[in-house]
């Protein structure tokens, strides 16, 4: 599992106009859907790839759509950035075969895992420094602690905060703070969708956020949807990764 990818499956869902900080790949496994990008309507499409901060919305009242959210400064996000032409903000796929051709996956197969695996396989192989691995393991085990700081990480691997930050970014493409944020958001989304009885305030505290407003801010900024909207649609959305 790539930590900078969040995959969701949505059924019979219409999403209001929004934008977000992540790259987003949206694909239909069955029924074509309509979407608008910066006011430009595209009808009966099978998917799209969109850059961060581009306003759009989807009308997919029938069928199932797969959604991949990707951290823009991760290695996989930087790979996606290279696929856009100059001044191109989104790429539309009008058929499953167009999607397959773009991502280099098997014909007529829109399996999320295969697309993720194909994207990752095209990245340069990296032998991760053991200090980076140690920090990743620490975040996985302690993401819920709200008092984690750059100094916390530095002391674990006996590096200065600036040296560790440089090493981590060199190997992952993104920052330590973004890795921690994605880890917290992924868990908050998982809990929101899987534990309907738990309050959003409790979920915020339990995943390392100071309070619910902070969780609201980061979830909306990154994915274009606050946790309340996610909870209200929890019967229609499930986390894939």
Find out whether 50 and 8 touch, Cβ atoms under 8 Å.
no
What average pLDDT does the segment 71-83 reach?
A: 91
Q: Which residues pair with 239 in a beta bridge?
A: 8
C-alpha dist (Å) from residue 30 to 34, 92, 111: 13, 16, 12
Minimum mean pLDDT range among 10-24, 72-86, 99-113, 161-175: 99-113
Burial of 33 (0-12, 13-18, 19+ CB in 10 A): buried
Write the pLDDT tens digit of every residue in 173-208: 889 999 999 999 999 999 999 988 999 999 999 999
Instruction: Kindly report the pTM of this predicted structure.
Output: 0.91
Find out whether 45 and 33 touch, Cβ atoms under 8 Å.
yes
Counting Cα atoms < 13 Å in the Cβ hemisphere of 145 gives: 10
Does CATH number 3.40.50.620 belong to domain 130-225? no
Overall CATH class of domain 5-121: mainly beta
Domains of the chain, residue spans:
5-121, 130-225
């Amino acid at each position: 599992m790539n930590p900078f990818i969040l995959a969701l499956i949505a059924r019979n869902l219409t999403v209001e106009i929004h934008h977000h900080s992540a790259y987003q790949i949206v694909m239909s496994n069955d029924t074509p859907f309509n979407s608008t990008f910066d006011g430009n309507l595209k009808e009966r499409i099978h998917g799209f790839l969109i850059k961060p901060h581009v306003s759009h919305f989807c009308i997919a009242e029938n069928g199932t759509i797969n959604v991949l959210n990707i951290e823009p400064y991760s290695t996989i996000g930087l790979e996606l950035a290279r696929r856009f032409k100059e001044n191109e903000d989104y790429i539309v796929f009008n058929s499953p075969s167009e999607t397959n051709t773009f991502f280099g996956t098997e014909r007529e197969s829109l399996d999320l895992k295969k697309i993720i695996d194909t994207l990752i396989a095209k990245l340069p192989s990296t032998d991760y420094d053991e200090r980076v691995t140690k920090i990743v393991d620490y975040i996985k085990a302690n993401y819920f602690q709200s008092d984690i700081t750059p100094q916390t990480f530095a002391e674990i691997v006996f590096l200065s905060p600036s040296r560790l930050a440089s090493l981590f970014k060199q190997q992952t493409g993104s920052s330590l703070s973004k890795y921690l944020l994605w880890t917290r958001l992924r868990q908050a989304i998982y809990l929101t969708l899987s534990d309907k009885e738990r309050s959003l305030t409790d979920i915020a505290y339990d995943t390392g956020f100071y309070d619910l407003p902070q969780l609201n801010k980061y979830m909306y900024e990154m994915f274009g949807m606050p946790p309340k909207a996610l909870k209200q649609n929890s019967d229609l959305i499930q986390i894939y990764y």
